Structure 1
């Protein structure tokens, strides 16, 4: 994968920036995008690092918002290249930054692979960044990964939802209120990247109870609207698989 289109930076909620690098169809069939989310605050947080091949672009995009060395946390949902592939690169540039992940991820992987020990968050634990507050949510196997988590930013009502609602394409708007369920479901059925866990529906319903106003998706557009309703619709789509 080699991104050939410029990385963009857009504020999708108060103090939360979507950094997106598109990969055109010539490089990946149908096109795709890799998003990171930067929270500007007293203790800045980068959520997702992107894979190694786009490190320079992501670094420069962060620098357009705040000094990269001021990062306090580099967080991610689970262990994959696009989630944390350049974790150590950012820890090198930001000497005070620490990895931010679930307690399980810290135990099984991150404390071994990272330059510095991680802050392993317990399910339901809240971390203050200043004005913004991150509530950590353990979501094992949703959509994949034993150590998978989501993060809810309480000040803006933004759910950092990782690979949920992944949308294909490389020309998605930064923020939309249009339907993203159909395109994300078509992609899910094509790629089958869910873990088929019996707890998938209950995990989604738990996230729905947060009633997020914005969904910070890792691939495709961020979305604004009735997050409770959208997450319930996704749970309903998955219900037959859970009942079988």
Structure 2
């Protein structure tokens, strides 16, 4: 495996590892996003076994010791499996996550206490402003959340818009239909009465870039894509209830 590095916005880097064995036969990308500034932030720590690859990629962009913040969407191996490796490698780095994630997992599992973020709290990393937003059970667990970079209007949307395969770095093509196809394949979303509305609320941010963990990032009308995806899950729920 190798890590591909691409700048998808001003001082915002996508560090992507393609794993052909995941989600066969198409394979799956695992994307990590480094946002540089006075206090650089890495969104998605990555799997523990991928730490050598991801950390080497970060080191190609900047010295590791500059890394200040570690964040992720929810407690899962590909999101935070290597968090303690990062904490050991960068003594000044600090984890941050929402109230639920810290309470139910991170306080116990992390080697250093995390910074607890309230819903809507903004972290200014110097040149970039990250807003944390709770999205409980969307797409998975109770602890789920996303981050929105306000200056570039980039939504770090985690597993939303997951797509299999090794596509382009960033696209302006439709990402809704391919993510629905992937949902049919993997059934990765926790479908409930608030799934659609939670996704549609993110459209109010009017993101210009959707930085997905699995698949190409999207450049364009992010609000329209989020509304369409939310509507799809509402329709999917009605079908499930009818069955």
Map 1:162-173 to 2 at 5 A. Answer: 162-169=158-165, 171-173=166-168
The normalised TM-score by structure 1 is 0.95
Tell me the distance in 1 between the aligned counterparts of 2:96 and 2:64.
16
Matching of residue 23 in structure 1 with residue 19 in structure 2: yes
- Structural RMSD (CA): 1.3
Tell me the matched-pair count: 239
Deviations 1:60-111 (A, max 9, x none): 1001111112111110110000000000001111111111111111111101
Deviation at 1:27, TM superposition (A): 8.8
Segments of 4+ moved more than 6 angstroms? none
Tell me the distance in 2 between the aligned counterparts of 1:14 and 1:38.
11
Matching of residue 38 in structure 1 with residue 40 in structure 2: no
Tell me the distance in 1 between the aligned counterparts of 2:201 and 2:19.
33
Match of 2:51 in 1: 55
Tell me the distance in 2 between the aligned counterparts of 1:181 and 1:26.
21
Match of 1:233 in 2: 228
Deviation at 1:152, TM superposition (A): 0.4
Matching of residue 97 in structure 1 with residue 120 in structure 2: no
Matching of residue 219 in structure 1 with residue 214 in structure 2: yes
| 3-state DSSP of counterpart to 1:137 | strand
Deviation at 1:24, TM superposition (A): 2.1
Match of 1:174 in 2: 169
Tell me the distance in 1 between the aligned counterparts of 2:193 and 2:217.
27
Maintained 8 Å contact 2:154/2:211:
yes
Tell me the distance in 1 between the aligned counterparts of 2:36 and 2:72.
16
Tell me the distance in 1 between the aligned counterparts of 2:45 and 2:25.
23
Maintained 8 Å contact 2:49/2:82:
no
Deviations 1:100-155 (A, max 9, x none): 11111111110111111101111111110011001100000001110000100001
Matching of residue 77 in structure 1 with residue 55 in structure 2: no
Matching of residue 160 in structure 1 with residue 156 in structure 2: yes
Maintained 8 Å contact 2:22/2:28:
no
Tell me the distance in 2 between the aligned counterparts of 1:129 and 1:176.
27
| 3-state DSSP of counterpart to 2:130 | strand
Map 1:125-140 to 2 at 5 A. Answer: 125-140=121-136
Maintained 8 Å contact 1:77/1:102:
no
Deviations 1:202-227 (A, max 9, x none): 11111001000000100011110000
| 3-state DSSP of counterpart to 2:29 | strand
Match of 1:121 in 2: 117
